[in-house]
Amino acid sequence: MSDDDSLVDLDELDRILKDAGSSKEVKSSNEWNTCSQKPSLKKSRADKSIDDFLKEFSDDDNEDWKSSSKVNSFKKNKESSASATKKCSPFVYISASDPEGLTKPSQVMSCDRLRCFSCDFDVVGFRGYRWTSDTDYLFLRNNHPLKEKLKANLVVDPSSSAFCCQCESISISKRTKLDSTSLSWSCRSH
């Protein structure tokens, strides 16, 4: 059936309805298509990013936050995967004295789940040690991630912590924001 046939049929139907005393007109097929389209129910990127932002900054100790039904249903559905996708925020810290774990806005911790973007290896940390001055790229390349071999270039220093990946190393004695260093490390999720 061609488009002309369908228009003829609609015109004929319109005439029949008018003859029957009805004042309603039949819409053309194009008008029906535009009216019958359903709105998209998929979440937009903005909705997803807002949900991610709220999830990241949710404080597990805050009862007011837990009372939200939307958040509760989201947490119930994604409980197992949500625990593996939390990242340190608003900043990633490494420290010699802070406890290790996930940094939240209300609680600063030294991130223990760092990964290097340059060499694509996990970062290894040593509390109570610092690197010797002869620690270089070749030493790290040959010995990372074997902690026993890496300890050959570590010196005991109770006020410091030593961190390294396969391409870079750092010794720190105070809380340090990764943004303030030249390291290409990031939290890989907790």
- Predicted confidence at residue 42, as pLDDT, reads 57
Residues 164 and 98 reside in one and the same domain: yes
> To 10 degrees, what angle do helices 45-56 and 69-77 make?
90
Angle at 4 between CA 3 and CA 9, to 5 degrees: 100
- Predicted confidence at residue 74, as pLDDT, reads 45
Output 29 or 176, whichever has higher pLDDT.
176
- Write out the residue range of the structural domain in which residue 108 sits: 93-187
> Quick check: is 51 in a domain?
yes
Angle at 108 between CA 127 and CA 100, to 5 degrees: 30
**Range with the largest mean pLDDT of 48-62, 82-96, 122-136:** 122-136
Q: How far apart are CA 105 and CA 57, in angstroms?
A: 7
What is the arithmetic mean of pLDDT over 132-138? 95
pTM: 0.54
Number of domains the chain is built from: 3
SS3 state at 163: strand
Residues 181 and 110 reside in one and the same domain: yes
Asked if residue 129 has pLDDT above 90, the reply is: yes
Q: Check if the beta carbon of residue 155 is closer than 8 Å to that of residue 130.
A: yes
